[in-house]
Amino acid sequence: MSLSSETNLIKYHQFPHILAANPPLYDSSTFPTALIGSEVPYDYARSGHPNRALLEEKLAALEDAEYGIAYNSGIGAISAVFFLLKSGDHLIIPNDVYGGTYRLCEHVLPGFNIEVTAVDTTNPLAVEQAIQENTKLIHLETPSNPLFKVTDIQAIADVAKKHNILVSVDNTFLTPLSQKPLHLGADIVIHSATKFLSGHSDLIAGAVVTNNAEVAESLQFLQNTLGSGLSAQDSWTLTKHLKTLYVRWNQSVKNTEKIVEFLKSRPEITDVYYPGNDEINQRQAENGGAVLGFRLSEAEKVPTFAKALKIPQIAVSLGGIQTIVSHPATMSHASVPEDVRNERGITFDLLRLSVGLEDPDELIADFEAALEEAYYEPVSTNFEQERISS
């Protein structure tokens, strides 16, 4: 019987000898053996751990994959995939890639003699033209961060397969509930599990899933050799958080769609970046997700607007149950040189919004009040009056 994602998120099949509603935490770094030389499923937690194994099973199931590997951060997961490459290999990445990935490609990979080319991955022809004889991996983010450009995964996968090149996709922004890149021809899917998969802003984790046995074996070797596996405690916590992913995700998406319409109606906002109506995104994903970008018409208003917000947190990261407003130019993409940021449209007037589970009408009222305070004489709204009197 094939189970739906929402059922798989709750049901677990590991530890059958323990009759408990929830998997226990095995708070142990070593696992004794009864007989020297005998084979045991676990011996040392860096090499393998029952809580991590259960999580990896769930992560793989979410993406309809055979193999899942859990890492101690999202960038740790990306690094593991990139370290499948060897000296002399060539990697293609998006030209608006996440700042942490940019830093890795700009400052670390060259030291291993791995060549990196950044291109507009929304243009399959540009990707194909960037391919060299030594190209081994094409890495995608779709939608991109923070301008939410959409890459046609199937089109890039078709190009890659002609040249025997692997394709990895960072699926953090849409989660497996809205987009399954393996179904579209990708070989590897990466997640910063810190974000929506966890959803509570209380742990750092990364994940890689694949159907390629050779890739999985190499990633498991790197996880053990580099000591980058997720801890037992964080594996246990993330497994618990995954149970509510379905309801968290769907509500956040619903809230986001309502807030997008409000932001589009405001004259102070010149652009709203949300892939919900993008033709390619509609073909390969269930919805536009729960994160968006928007620009204020006057960059100097950004600090006042952000300070005036009462409900959202001003912070890095995304995907929590709380709404988070971040400033890419000084946060997620601060490691990208200013001239490169400006060229890519990541300017001071741009804000990124990760929508949580708060009442969307109250969030809209808060955004409206903050815009009024930033652009006009302060105006008291019903929301503000209620906040003051409470």
Which residues are tagged catalytic?
46, 98, 170, 195
Measured CA to CA, the distance from residue 150 to residue 210 in angstroms comes to: 22
Burial (CB count <10 Å: 0-12, 13-18, 19+), residue 271: middle
Helix axes 360-375, 245-265, angle to 10 degrees: 40
Nearest to 328 by CA among 106, 78, 98, 143: 98
Query: Residue 337 forms beta bridges with which residues?
Result: none
CB 256 within 8 A of CB 162: no
Nearest to 190 by CA among 63, 320, 47, 352: 63
Query: Residue 293 forms beta bridges with which residues?
Result: 273, 352
CB 230 within 8 A of CB 49: no
Sign of CA dihedral 279, 285, 286, 290: negative
Rg of the chain in Å (alpha carbons): 22
DSSP 8-state assignment for residue 3: P
Measured CA to CA, the distance from residue 264 to residue 116 in angstroms comes to: 37
Query: Residue 116 forms beta bridges with which residues?
Result: 91
Structure tokens at 367: 């955004």
Q: Which residues of 179-204 are buried (b: 16+ CB within 10 A; e: fewer)?
A: bbbbebbbbbbbbbbbbbbbbbbebb
Measured CA to CA, the distance from residue 358 to residue 311 in angstroms comes to: 8
Q: Which residues of 66-90 are buried (b: 16+ CB within 10 A; e: fewer)?
A: ebbbbbbbbbbbbbbbbbbbeeebb
